[in-house]
Structure formats: C-alpha cells, structure tokens
Amino acid sequence: MHPKPPPLVIDTNVFVAALFREGSQAARLIDWVRHGVVRMVWNQETMRETRTIIERIPPIDWASVSELFQMENEYTEPTDHHPFHKIPDPDDRKFAALAYATGAILISQDDDLLGCPEQLEILVLSPRKFLEGPYAPRAPRGEAILDVQGDCR
C-alpha cells in the first residue's frame, strides 16, 4: 500500500494557469483535487485572494473552482506570516504560512517561492514537480492515477 500524500496548499497562480490551459500540469493537479486524489487545505485568506484574482480575469470563472474549497479542509487557526518576511511579495506569505502551519506542500508557479527553497521551512513545488515526484499518489504499479482530462484509471 502506498502512503497517503501530504496535503497541498495551492497558490492562486496555479488556479489561473489551470483555468487558462486545460491540458496543463496545473489543470491536471486541479483535477486531482476535484476527484479527491489529493487534499487541498485552505484558509479564509488564501481563498479570498484566489477568488479576488480569478474574479478580476473575465475569461475565467470562480464558480468553476469554488467547490474545491471544501469546509472539511479549511484551516481555521491563525497563521504566522513573520517567518516568511523574506518572500518579496507579501501576498505570497499567506500561502507559505498556511503550508507551514498544516505541514502541507505549497504548489506554486511563482519564481520567488520556487527559487529560494533553502530560505523557507516548507516544501514548494511546481505542479509538474509535484505530479512527477515522489509525493504524488500512484497506483500500485506506479502509473498516474488521473490523466490530464481527469479520467479515473
């Protein structure tokens, strides 16, 4: 039996990329969340930012991802942004703080987060690195559990 994958915190840029490019690795990851293959943790701060950004971009729609923010995966305790003061974009700090507080992997396409792993006390991976890496859930023979279109195997 394969170990249960760790929870994920998903940065807003991953949602935006998934909504713009259906066949992308970001879209595949979002499909995994949608089908319950991986668990996304969130808090009010991260959901609010994701919703705000998506609603600012007319071709994409918040309703297409809002159901992924499931109540049972909401983290309601306070998070401490201070340990992440070296992250240049203050808006990224909330995602890092949530990942730290929950022991989750932060999934992002942000170079500021991906480019300084030694300065952060969390694991930050791109969607591709997560999907291809050792943390991604696998079927007993090692194949991916969902293909890019979200069909269950």
Q: What is the pLDDT of residue 148?
A: 40
Residues in the chain: 153
* Within-domain flag for 143: no
Q: What is the pLDDT of residue 153?
A: 34
**For the sheet containing 124-125, what is the strand order?**
8-10, 105-107, 124-125
CA distance 68 to 35: 10
* Within-domain flag for 153: no
* Within-domain flag for 1: no
- Walk along the chain (153 residues) and give the pLDDT tens digit of each residue: 456 778 999 999 999 999 999 999 999 999 999 999 999 999 999 999 999 999 999 899 999 999 999 999 999 999 999 999 988 899 999 999 999 999 999 999 999 899 876 778 899 999 999 999 988 887 655 555 555 444 433
Q: Provide the domain limits for residue 72.
A: 8-132
Whether this prediction's pTM lies above 0.85 is answered by yes
| CATH at 83 | 3.40.50.1010
* Token duo for residue 132: 């291809």
In the chain, how many domains are there? 1
Of 79, 61, 70, 3, which is closest to residue 39 (Cα–Cα)? 70
* Within-domain flag for 34: yes
